[in-house]
Amino acid sequence: MPFRAPVPEFKFMLDHVVDFAKVSETDRFAEAERDMIDAILTEAGRMCEDVLAPLQRSGDLEGAVLENGVVRTSPGFAEGFGKIAEGGWISTSADPAYGGMGLPHTVTTVVNEMMSASCLSIQLAPLMSQGQIEALEHHASDEIKAVYLPKLMSGEWLGTMNLTEPQAGSDVGALRTKAEPNGDGSYAITGQKIYISWGDNDFTENVSHLVLARLPDGVPGTKGISLFVVPKFIPDESGAPGVANSLKVVSLEHKMGLHGSPTAVMQYDGATGWLVGEPHDGMRAMFTMMNNARLGVGGQGVGVAEGAFQHALAYALDRKQGRTPVGGGDGTIIDHADVRRMLATMKADIFAARSIALACAVAIDMTTATKDAEWKARAAFLTPIAKAFGTDTGIAVSEMGVQVHGGMGFIEETGAAQYSRDVRVTAIYEGTNGIQAMDLVGRKLMDGGEAAYRLLDEIEANAEAARGTLPELAEPVWEATETLRETTEWLVAQGDMNDRFAGCVPFLKGFARVLGAHYHLRAAMGEGGTGARTKLARFYITRMLPEHAGLLAHAMRGAEDLYAITADDLAL
Ligand SMILES: Cc1cc2nc3c(=O)[nH]c(=O)nc-3n(C[C@H](O)[C@H](O)[C@H](O)COP(=O)(O)OP(=O)(O)OC[C@H]3O[C@@H](n4cnc5c(N)ncnc54)[C@H](O)[C@@H]3O)c2cc1C
């Protein structure tokens, strides 16, 4: 079934749901006029439909392989990446001084989501470069910027991000990779990194690895970590790739999905690298990259959900089975109530997750444009929700897509199962969703809940505004927001962080449920309270929003009863 880029949906959401007009009104993004943005989204959508979507299945069937130390990518991926680069989709929001388009991050978020929907494996490649570009823009020296940024933006080189080691996953501070000064301004990097996405390829002339390592005087833990750029080929004086660096791909992982994306074990043996940012300040620089990537990964989840939904809808419109209660009895399975429920659930959750991601992107753009502390706090608060809820939605929706297909969902030819396999990792990488939720109830509530309460105030004000025209939708949203406020207050009052952590995942999910309802309500208001969006909003608010109550009750249980179940009890 051919993928159809949901460009009209994005346009509606930018106008009526996340108030993108605010971004265009700033001086910083004054050139980002709506006509131009619409044209850009249409162009990107076409590339996703025509170029990337056809790569989805071949990337799964003929994944990347390592042959004699060289990574061979899936058929068509070189051409696909070439088209991504040619369209400027790697550097949509990057600094024009180095070849980027300088457009709002919201535009990048939309384009990234469409690329993920059409072929997640290849989309991960530009996503890696985008994160590296942002980290270098903010933290690298002018010399490094001049050499690396134009190449990464044009797609001549690809960026990677190297944090993980066998003993250092979520606990990045446990890393052992070393960096020794060479005495000429460069450093010798030695160590092993695992799970490195797009650790190598056969279509860019160079690969630029961002590597976290510890200097000889680096203290243990995250405070002693520094960031280095370590190229596969060391640039010569003209900046062109020169001699090969002392690094190699040891192996590629055999994975459950995402076969088109080579996931590498990398060995650095005294490889030459250059410091990015200050010594021992690597985590700050890496966080720049990771924040961008967290929203990007949330968008991967939403994108895959969209692809899986389109597949399931097409199947449900075609497959006949049993007498249907509507449509004269000989309709297709979409006319069965349970199938209709599944499709509506998928559609409603995609809308909710997409809204949260776009709202986060708008907050990032407003921070860039205004430097306003409240926008900054809003972006920081929404980032873990966008990541975790976006990817949870990708997993839930693609799983439901398998169910809609019945037995054919379990058969690989339909492609339904691939969405489910490919998207699973998005809840794991870029910080597991558990770690995201801990960030939400920990760092993101360190302001005493100020950023959260400001958001809740806005949701309630919007619900108040809708009371006159859509009371049956506005009231439940207002009430749910009050419950969420009480839960947030309870969490803020807990001195023992473990009491917060014990309920952090249900809290994040409950928060997302309420946010989703808010954006659905805005969509219903945006179409004047009648039409397809209003019906979907009603479905979400009456059937899915009530889940928030169970989730938030769970969030307030604290840790004690959890630890009352001992490891021995679990092993019983
Ligand atoms: C396909 C793929 C691609 C990847 N790409 C990259 C890449 O490009 N670059 C890179 O550097 N890494 C990459 N990773 C690594 C990824 O980021 C890690 O797998 C992830 O951070 C989790 O680390 P871990 O696997 O060691 O799991 P662990 O950290 O061992 O976690 C295991 C479980 O324990 C939980 N847990 C761990 N610590 C805590 C805690 N303090 N509190 C509560 N719960 C906790 C986790 O949430 C998880 O459920 C990739 C991984 C995969 C599978």
Render pLDDT for 90-114 as a digit per residue (tens, 0 to 9).
Answer: 999 999 999 999 999 999 999 999 9
Q: Which of 128, 129, 170, 499 to mutate to test the pocket of ligand 1 (most atoms within 8 A of CB)?
A: 170
pLDDT of residue 328: 87
Known catalytic residues are: 430
2 against 527, higher pLDDT:
527
pLDDT of residue 51: 98
Distance from the CA of 33 to the center of ligand 1, in angstroms? 40
Q: What is the pLDDT of residue 290?
A: 79
Tens of pLDDT, residue by residue over 20-56, are: 999 999 999 998 888 999 999 999 999 999 999 999 9
Ligand 1 pocket test: pick from 207, 286, 429 the residue with the most ligand atoms within 8 Å of its Cβ. Answer: 429
Q: In this structure, which residue's CA is closest to atom 36 in ligand 1?
A: 170
Pocket perturbation via mutation, ligand 1, pick of 192, 432, 438 by most ligand atoms within 8 A of CB? 432
The proportion of the chain whose per-residue pLDDT surpasses 90, expressed as a percent, equals 97
pLDDT in tens, 279-298: 999 988 887 777 778 999 99
Residue nearest to atom 23 of ligand 1 (CA): 169
* Nearest atom of ligand 1 to the alpha carbon of 258: 1
Would you say residue 1 has pLDDT above 90? no
List the residue whose alpha carbon is closest to atom 26 of ligand 1: 169
Phi-psi region of 88 (alpha: psi -120 to 50; beta: other; left: phi over 0): left
- A 10 A CB-CB count for 219 gives 12
Q: How far is the CA of 429 from the centre of ligand 1 (A)?
A: 6
Ligand 1 neighbours (beta carbon < 6 A): 161-164, 169-170, 195-197, 255, 258, 263, 425, 428-429, 432, 434-435
Q: Over the stretch 455-487, which tens digit does the pLDDT of each residue have?
A: 999 999 999 999 999 999 999 999 999 999 999
Of all residues in the chain, the percent with pLDDT exceeding 70 is 100
Residue of the CA atom closest to atom 29 of ligand 1: 170
pLDDT higher than 90, residue 80? yes
Mean pLDDT over the full length of the chain? 97
Tokens, residue 517:
């309802």
Residue closest by Cα to atom 42 of ligand 1: 435
Q: Which whole number is the average pLDDT over 437-454?
A: 98
In this predicted structure, what is the pLDDT of residue 62? 98
With a CB cutoff of 8 Å and minimum separation 6, the contacts of 254 are none
Tell me how far the alpha carbon of residue 172 lies from the centroid of ligand 1, in angstroms. 9
| Residue 292: predicted pLDDT | 78
User: CB under 8 Å to 8, separation ≥6 — which residues?
Assistant: none
Tell me the average pLDDT across 387-409. 98
pLDDT of residue 191: 98
Smallest CA separation from ligand 1 atom 31, residue: 170
Res. 2 pLDDT band, cuts 50 70 90 = confident
- Find the 531 Cα to ligand 1 centroid distance in Å: 43
Predicted pLDDT of residue 286: 81
DSSP secondary structure, 348-401, as one string: HHHHHHHHHHHHHHHHHHHHHHH--HHHHHHHHHHHHHHHHHHHHHHHHHHHHH
Give the distance (Å) from ligand 1 centre to CA of residue 194: 11
Residues 344-384: tens digit of each pLDDT: 999 999 999 999 999 999 999 999 999 999 999 999 999 99
Neighbours of 164 (CB within 10 A): 19
Question: Cα(289)–Cα(208) distance, rounded to whole angstroms?
Answer: 14
Distance 425 CA to ligand 1 centre (A): 10
